[in-house]
Amino acid sequence: MQVVSSKELQERALQVETLKQQCPKHEGVYMWQSVNPCTHRTLTYCPECVQEIIDQNASEQLAIAEAQIRDTRSYSLFMKESIIPNDLKNATVGNFEIHTEQDAEAVNFAKRVTADYVKERYEGNTIISGPPGVGKSHLAVGIAKTLNESFQMLQVRKSVVYMPSMELFSRMQEAFQYKDSKWEQRSVVKFLQGVDFLVLDDLGKESSVGNEIRQGNNWMQKILYQILENRTNTIITTNFEGKHLKELYEQSLVDRITKGNMKTNAFKFSKDTASRRSLSASDY
């Protein structure tokens, strides 16, 4: 048996014969013929056709890679752009502590609305209201995380961002002084308008002082209106009931806050719900 070196194989592989036959697809391009050094099979092909196949495969692979990058950017947007307080970094719907029947109802509500959004059974806003400290923000972060993780698992390209209203306006105001383009008004409004699911936490806190309710200033109301006017799915938490929201904001803005079915997608903790902060303090 004749032993053929790898170098000889490479040399044989490079031995290509140009035929007199032209490619039926590419006028003026002559067919090539070569012999596979391993199988000794004769191959006849058009170099242009081969290049087209290579280019097509490369384009398909590039498209797949770009889609994967877009998916990753959509899912990573949650951690990159959300402003989650340190004490809520690990918050999920699943680890929301249940002390009362109302707590259980709140968890079931959060699970249901999240599933409805993921399965596209509901389109519109969701509101969770109640006194301070009852766990609204915990549920809001949990809903946001579940949405983001569910879309990633299902490979559905949807973006989710959690944003405390107080932090939103504080950073926008600082941008005026420090010239931070990321938090410049136009950039922020455009970005939040385009997010598929926005969780706007503690709405109304930016316009109230303690227990005093006063109408939000025109600038803040204008920003909120611009954001919510062009949105479909927004999850909102607030310390204020509907009648108090009307004292804080103009009716046109209230209409956009309550966009959707508030009979099914609004949960209100009762006024006498104990603060979770008080429950935690009682352990010491």
pLDDT band of 11, cuts 50, 70, 90:
very low
Of the candidates 264, 272, 284, the one whose C-alpha atom is nearest the C-alpha of residue 133 is 272
Q: Are residues 177 and 98 in the same domain?
A: yes
Long-range contacts of the stretch 15-20 (C-beta < 8 A, 24+): 19/44
The number of beta carbons lying within 10 Å of the beta carbon of residue 83 is: 14
Query: For 217, which DSSP code?
Result: P
pLDDT in tens, 225-253: 999 998 999 999 999 988 889 988 999 99
Q: Are residues 52 and 118 in the same domain?
A: no
Task: Name, in order, each residue with C-beta under 8 angstroms of 41's C-beta and a sequence gap of 6 or more.
Answer: 35
**For residue 80, what pLDDT is reported?**
87
Q: Are residues 54 and 163 in the same domain?
A: no
Q: Are residues 67 and 86 in the same domain?
A: no
pLDDT band of 144, cuts 50, 70, 90:
very high
The mean pLDDT of the chain is 83
Q: Are residues 46 and 89 in the same domain?
A: no
pLDDT band of 10, cuts 50, 70, 90:
very low
Q: Are residues 60 and 104 in the same domain?
A: no
Average pLDDT over residues 104-123: 97
Report phi then psi at 124, rounded to 5: 145, -175
pLDDT at 73 over 70: no
Q: Are residues 10 and 134 in the same domain?
A: no
Most confident of 60-69, 118-127, 209-218: 118-127
Q: How far apart are CA 62 and CA 64, in angstroms?
A: 5
Long-range contacts of the stretch 155-160 (C-beta < 8 A, 24+): 155/71, 157/70, 157/71, 157/74, 158/74, 158/196, 158/197, 159/74, 159/77, 159/78, 159/194, 159/195, 159/196, 159/197, 160/77, 160/78, 160/82, 160/195, 160/196, 160/197, 160/198, 160/199
pLDDT band of 4, cuts 50, 70, 90:
very low
Q: Are residues 59 and 116 in the same domain?
A: no
Q: Are residues 143 and 50 in the same domain?
A: no
What total of structural domains would you count in the chain?
A: 2
Q: Are residues 131 and 204 in the same domain?
A: yes
Q: What percent of the chain has pLDDT over 70?
A: 81
Token pair, residue 143, equals 């809903």
pLDDT in tens, 12-62: 445 677 777 888 888 887 778 777 666 677 778 787 888 888 777 766 665
**For residue 192, what pLDDT is reported?**
92
Domain range for 129: 82-281
**For residue 282, what pLDDT is reported?**
44
Report phi then psi at 282, rounded to 5: -70, -15
19-23, 64-68, 268-272: lowest mean pLDDT where?
Answer: 64-68
pLDDT in tens, 174-198: 887 777 777 888 888 989 999 999 9
**For residue 142, what pLDDT is reported?**
98
Query: Exposed, middle or buried by CB within 10 Å (0-12, 13-18, 19+), for 147?
Result: buried
Dihedral sign computed on CA atoms, order 149, 150, 156, 159: negative
Q: Are residues 60 and 96 in the same domain?
A: no
Token pair, residue 208, equals 């109230």
Dihedral sign computed on CA atoms, order 271, 267, 111, 80: negative
**For residue 54, what pLDDT is reported?**
74
Strands 30-35 and 42-45: antiparallel
